[in-house]
Amino acid sequence: MIDLRSDTVTLPTPAMREAIAQAELGDDVYGEDPTVKRLEQLAAEKVGKEAALLVTSGTMGNLCAMLAHANRGQKVFLGNQSHIFCYEGGGASALGGLIFHTLPNLHDGSLDLNALAQALDIPNDAHQAPAGLVCLETTHNRCGGVAVPLETMAATRELTHKHALPLHLDGARVFNAAVALGVDVREITCHVDSVQFCLSKGLAAPVGSLLAGSADFVRRAHRARKMLGGGMRQAGIIAAAGIVALTEMIPRLAEDHANARRFAEALAVLPGVRLDLATVQTDIVIFELDRPDLSAQQFVGALRERGLLLGNIGRGRVRAVTHYGIDDGDVEQALDIIADVLANPVSAAPTVASPY
């Protein structure tokens, strides 16, 4: 199988496996795992923050951030296409008593700042839920893997400062954004109070995410992690691979971007495919089928039968993600399979949507 469903399907590199085998370990719940400490210090330095916290997943990292920044009954302002809103189980509401206030995501993944400004203009009235937090996402998954422009992030930061609100970044693929924009990642993260990023996507570690911000914020997030059951013991097993991810795997993200672009450009000229190449900036390619005789569900099922896995993300859209382990040959073979299915479609069993 050629698996392009997500960059979460990557397997650890040989260097990661060796680091895991040799990791120096301790009990991280007691704060005694030296490898976790090294990873957290490295992560904080990478994104220009005072401190960082290892968590099991991006979802946990974002939830810890929301619980640390905002209080029960407060609003969290975020995009209507954001991963936090669409794919994280409503945890902020269910577990934190927070209220999602969604705003339109624009084509570039940013929030409509006029809409945000109006939404933040909340009267001091007991009838109104107060503002607590604003969240951004880059790269933006459902907008096609686009990197939010730096000037837009700066403008959002200015608006949240005006209202004395914290700004959190779901930066699950923030290093992809930095590579795409040609900047150090700190030029992105300097605009936010906190950032979550994944080790287990394009960076190819087997598990884990980091949450970074001020030392005081991380202390509050650490307490939230404990409440969520995220305290781990000899977590250096995870952290060791994460250190390799942050020290060795960031530059190679450009290979994934190049493969995605090559894939998208060839895909865009196939009959029956509708694809906006302007959105293909990183490792994600999202397209639609313009074929009344072939649904996205049937299409993805037929591809699976021929040895190619893509993600049916709903509303007739299909997603492919390049990653460590996918090379030029895989891209060419995937294109051949897609062309064959478009020319000779067959009905297939339903497929499960893959939003990640």
Q: What is the total count of domains within the chain? A: 2
Same-domain pairing of 160 and 18: yes
Judge whether 325 lies within some domain: yes
Judge whether 352 lies within some domain: no
Judge whether 3 lies within some domain: no
**Nearest in space to 223 (alpha carbons), one of 235, 208, 211, 206:** 211
The reported pTM is 0.94
Same-domain pairing of 222 and 272: no
* Mean pLDDT of the residues in the chain: 95
Judge whether 43 lies within some domain: yes
pLDDT of residue 348: 47
pLDDT of residue 356: 63
CATH number at residue 145: 3.40.640.10
**Nearest in space to 287 (alpha carbons), one of 313, 309, 308:** 313
Domain end, chosen from 205, 226, 248, is at 248
Examine the pLDDT at 292 and tell me if it is beyond 50.
yes
Examine the pLDDT at 161 and tell me if it is beyond 60.
yes
Handedness of CA 146, 246, 45, 195 (dihedral sign): positive
Same-domain pairing of 149 and 269: no
Q: How far is 256 from 80, CA to CA, in rounded Å?
A: 27
- Cβ-based neighbours of 263, under 8 Å, separated by 6 or more: 285, 320, 322, 331, 334, 335
Same-domain pairing of 51 and 89: yes
Q: Which two tokens stand for residue 55?
A: 């968590």
Same-domain pairing of 218 and 295: no
Same-domain pairing of 274 and 189: no
What digits encode the pLDDT tens for the residues 224-245?
999 999 999 999 999 999 999 9
Same-domain pairing of 222 and 339: no
Q: How far is 13 from 309, CA to CA, in rounded Å?
A: 22
Residue 346 pLDDT grade (very low, low, confident, very high; cuts 50, 70, 90): low
Write the burial class of residue 321 (CB in 10 Å: 0-12 exposed, 13-18 middle, 19+ buried): buried
pLDDT of residue 353: 54
Same-domain pairing of 121 and 231: yes
Coil, strand, or helix at residue 2? strand
Judge whether 2 lies within some domain: no
pLDDT of residue 124: 85
Mean pLDDT of 74-86: 97
**Nearest in space to 20 (alpha carbons), one of 229, 234, 175:** 234
Judge whether 56 lies within some domain: yes
What are the CA-CA distances from residue 321 to residues 6, 260, 341 (Å)? Answer: 5, 7, 19
CATH number at residue 280: 3.90.1150.10
Q: Could you tell me if residue 48 is left (phi over 0), alpha (psi between -120 and 50 degrees) or otherwise beta? A: left
Residue 117 pLDDT grade (very low, low, confident, very high; cuts 50, 70, 90): very high
Same-domain pairing of 80 and 205: yes
Judge whether 289 lies within some domain: yes
What digits encode the pLDDT tens for the residues 39-52?
999 999 999 999 99
Nearest-5° angle of CA 129, CA 131, CA 134?
A: 140
Residue 344 pLDDT grade (very low, low, confident, very high; cuts 50, 70, 90): confident
Domain span including residue 284: 253-343
Same-domain pairing of 241 and 273: no
